Structure 1
Amino acid sequence: MLDPTQPIALFAEATMGKLNAKMAEGILRYGRNPVMAVIDSTQAGKRVRDLCALDSDVPVVATLAEAQGLGAQVLVLGTAPSGGRLPPEWKDVLEQAIAGGMSLVNGMHDRLHPMFADKLRPGQWVWDLRVPQGDAPPIAMARAASLPNTRVLMVGTDMAIGKMTAGLELTRSLTDMGHDAAFLATGQTGIAITGRGIPLDAIRVDHAGGAVERMVMEAAAHKIVVVEGQGSLLHPGSTATLPLMRGSACTHMILCHRAGMDTLDELDSVRIPPLRDVIALNEAVAHAAGALTPAKVVGIALNTARLSQAEAAAALKATEDETGLPTADPVRNGALRLAQAILAAR
């Protein structure tokens, strides 16, 4: 596992500042480890703050050797190509890292440990984040519905919409207010940041709900758990939201949306319905026509990263007027309003 004191480098070749580098940005924003450099030869010479909305002075370098020269001991694959498969052209860099004594953190579906196991020296390791740990989970049986705590699920209008970021900010706001809240990671970036969780998209569909349920049951002592969302009920390629709802038996939801989005990011043919209809859909599916735990959407996390301050303020007000729910951009303004909405609805 990744020791939080180890200096790391983030590999984000040709993607830093783009949507595919969300793991790199997540670790830069919330990670515990000192980041010595981001590797992206197309942006070398810049700083992180030049490429994305992060006030970070971390340098962007062209090569692995430069990152090692700055003190990096661990190479984290900070970008996710389409399908989560390892590009063949990355293999040379990974081999250089292993030969140079670095450890690897891998968020791809392709496993790296079998590839490099016979080349690892004492103290050197490979962490494949998308490998489920432990025994196969049991089938979900709505066990979490019996818990007396508050279980908040982050849901969204699309993939890569900011569900993890909003969830981390919400958890931070709740804990800052003195409440016993825990963030439960369900994807590779969340696992890399918190050091624990489940790689939901790598778990067999029959066991996915059970994996979520087991994780929530293990966190039962916390008064509030915030479950990282994945996918969207609107996306034809996503199956992740249903096991999250079933396994967590969520009591509340926060809907995540990007301001100005009318269609899915990569599917222009799929229109995003009015948010009131999206809210109704998520509530209906969570409740399962009265068979399962009712869960209300109690707030909107609106991603306004692409807007000016004035445009963001107008978008937040318009969304709040449209839905009648407290709305906040957790990164730009903090998640206090969303935390207050959760507490008021308990």
Structure 2
Amino acid sequence: MLSASDRVVLLQHDGLRSLTGKTGLAMLRHRPGPIVAVVDPSQAGGSLPAITGIEREVPVVGTVEEALPLDPEVAVIGLAPSGGRLPDPVRRDVLVALQRGLNLASGLHTRLSDDAELQAACRDDRWIWDLRQEPEQLQVAQARAAALSCHRLLAVGTDMAVGKMSACLELLKAARQRSLPCQFVGTGQAGILIEGGGVALDAVRVDYAAGAVEAAVMSAASTLPADGLVFVEGQGSLCHPGSSATLPLLRGAQPTALLLVHRARQSTIERLTAIPLPPLSELVALTEGLARLAQPAGTVPPQVCGVALNTARLDATAARSAVEALSDELSLPCTDPVRWGADPLLEAMLRSRMK
């Protein structure tokens, strides 16, 4: 329901310097449409580039009221608070936004459209979009995407929050700059908010998760010519004990290429440091092996065509060294697509199609 031209105000309370704000931070980095203001009382009046390192000139204000002269149309909750409930300061700004005639977009687990107070505040000609909900009329996956002629890349990560969405969006940007026909399938709240569509995978019952991905990929492919490109946002990790998202993505998308996403110098699950990551060469082989399963006969199995390396914690010299070392180790193209652009990875994807 969020269009590319909608004028957005981000509700980012205490989230500009915190992981709880990663949805809004992703929108600030990647959304091409207008973001007219960010609401974060703790950073009000500050410079967004200085606070976040994101080179985008957007005013940071203390309340929604202060953002209203900038003519926002949609208030977007850019936070992922613990338990999925709105903290009181955010709720107050949400109420003001609805009372003043703004639409509301939320990726929280809590359905705000079911909140009687918020519904009463929402004008009849406005909407509350709870994007994190299970699509209707789901089916069990049947490997239908394998019959598509378009090239389908799935990002797979060594951990949560290593940059799978960012890598796919940078690939999308690179493909659009070349005027290549392409689509992005968002599978998490930030990706859906940025591109306006997809499926919130963590809101789908496990039996239908692969089917939900399959339907989203089929829908994206229906708008493309035979040589089109579909970039499927990854979720979770095979390496993480709390994640089961990679398998339904593999089953539903039936990818023709895989992109490994990793954070430089990370050797364990970030928030569970007792769990080591396997050697990346072993993870590449394991992922390719899993991708070969549950495919129709005659399907060409996908391979990892490149590595997107998250070097945000390294300086430029160390980042270059890390990219070169990993490329040599795996004999695969490697770059940090956020730092230097995704052209090498796009080239690798296009070459993989010709194999």
TM > 0.5 fold call: yes
Task: Please say if residues 53 and 305 of structure 1, whose CA atoms lie closer than 8 Å, have aligned partners that are also in contact.
Answer: no
2:16 aligns to what? 16
1:131 corresponds to: 133
Aligned counterpart, 2:153:
152
115-124 or 269-278, larger mean C-alpha shift: 115-124
The answer to which of 282-291 and 95-104 deviates more is 282-291
TM-score norm. by structure 2 comes to: 0.91
Deviation at 1:3, TM superposition (A): 4.0
- Residue type of the partner of 2:119? A
Identify the residue that residue 274 of structure 2 maps to in structure 1: 269
Residue 99 in 1 paired to residue 99 in 2?
yes
Given that 1:11 and 1:75 are in contact with CA atoms closer than 8 Å, whether structure 2 keeps it comes out as yes
Tell me the C-alpha RMSD between the 2 structures: 1.9
When structure 1 is superposed on structure 2, of 192-201 and 29-38 the one drifting more is 29-38
* Structure 1 residue 2 displacement after superposition: 2.5
* Matched ranges for 1:51-62 at <5 A: 51-62=51-62
| Aligned: 1:235 with 2:237 | no
**Pairs within 5 Å for 1:117-128:** 117-128=119-130
Q: Tell me if the contact between 2:150 and 2:229 (Cα under 8 Å) persists in the aligned partners.
A: yes
Once the two structures are superposed, residues 149-175 of structure 1 have per-residue CA deviations (whole angstroms, 9 ceiling, x without a partner) of 211101101111111111011122223
Q: 2:317 — aligned with what?
A: 310
CA distance in 1, matches of 2:153, 2:83: 28
Deviation at 1:263, TM superposition (A): 1.5
Counterpart in the other structure of 2:215: 214
Residues 180-199 of structure 1: per-residue CA shift (max 9 Å, x gap): 22111111111111111111
CA distance in 2, matches of 1:145, 1:5: 34
Distance 1:82 1:279 in 2: 33
What SS does the corresponding residue of 1:225 show, helix, strand or coil? strand
Aligned equivalent of 1:42: 42
Structure 2: stretches of 5+ with no match in the other structure: none
Query: For the residues of structure 1 that align with 2:54 and 2:261, how far apart are their CA atoms?
Result: 20
Match of 1:259 in 2: 264
C-alpha deviation, 1:101, in angstroms: 2.3
Q: Which residue of 2 aligns with 1:173?
A: 174
3-state SS, counterpart of residue 269 of structure 1: strand
Aligned-residue sequence identity (percent) comes to 44
Within the alignment, does 1:244 sit opposite 2:249 as a pair? yes
Please give the secondary structure, in 2, of the residue aligned with 1:90. helix
Q: Which amino acid aligns with 1:31?
A: R
Q: In structure 1, list runs of 5 or more residues that go unmatched.
A: none
Instruction: Give the length in aligned residue pairs.
Output: 345
The offset of 1:315, in angstroms, is 1.1
User: Alpha-carbon deviations, 1:296-321, whole Å to 9, x = none?
Assistant: 11100011112111111111111112
